[in-house]
Amino acid sequence: MTAGLLGAAALAEHAVALAAFRNTCGLAEDGVEQFQQGDGQDPQMQVREVVEIGAFAVLCTVSIGPAITLRAVVPVFLGGSLAVAAGGGHLRGTYLGYRDTFVRPRARKEKVLLGVGGALVALGGTVWLGSRLSMLRNRVGCDSITCLAGYDFATLHLSAALSISGAATLGLGLAYRTSRRRFLRLEELHVVPIAGRGSGGMALSGRF
């Protein structure tokens, strides 16, 4: 639950930062592009467009600082969510290992958990790295900063969702495998009372 809250906080902060950027700097950028394409317009209309572009440029200058700050905090929340998800998966795996040994005996498919978790983490990392490299060289096909900001938002949170869910599943699988083996060894131990003439005690037997 905590991992989900941290992920939701990161998503909300990034969405606010993106909206602030699009509604100020993005509109100013669009206005400049339209102004450059409207050479034959009425002079009064051109003056109005210049005033609007200037207003959006001022708003962009005011909002760009908070927007960058919000965007910079997003990886902190996502990293926290990833760590909490892995830790929660580990605790859950340990509990299931105990329950499946002593309470409701059963054997889960450890390899499936490990395979799915590892695949999700690898896929999330691939999406993140590929999207960052694409943005650096502008292979995305964007012709504006607003487009790149939207691409950053979509790919970052897609890779985060894959990596966080993968970390939880992988942590569960690893902890389950370790705890299950440990509890099975404990289950094989037997304590036998020993009583003799003038003596008594306990004997511990098992496979070591």
| Arithmetic mean of pLDDT over the chain | 78
Q: How far apart are CA 166 and CA 56, in angstroms?
A: 42
Concatenated DSSP letters for 71-119?
HHHHHHHHHHHHHHHHHHHHHHHHHHHHIIIIIS-----HHHHHHHHHH
Please give the sequence-ordered ranges of beta strands (E in DSSP) within the chain, or none if there are none. Answer: 190-196, 199-205
Higher pLDDT residue, 207 or 135? 135
Q: What's the structural domain count of the chain?
A: 1
Domain containing 90 equals 2-205
Q: What is the pTM of this model?
A: 0.75
**Residue 95 CB partners (closer than 8 Å, separation 6+):** none
- How would you classify the pairing of strands 199-205 and 190-196? antiparallel
Give tens-digit pLDDT for 100-154: 888 888 888 889 999 999 999 999 999 999 999 988 877 788 877 778 888 999 9
199 has which bridge partners?
196
User: How many C-beta atoms surround the C-beta of residue 194 within 10 A?
Assistant: 9
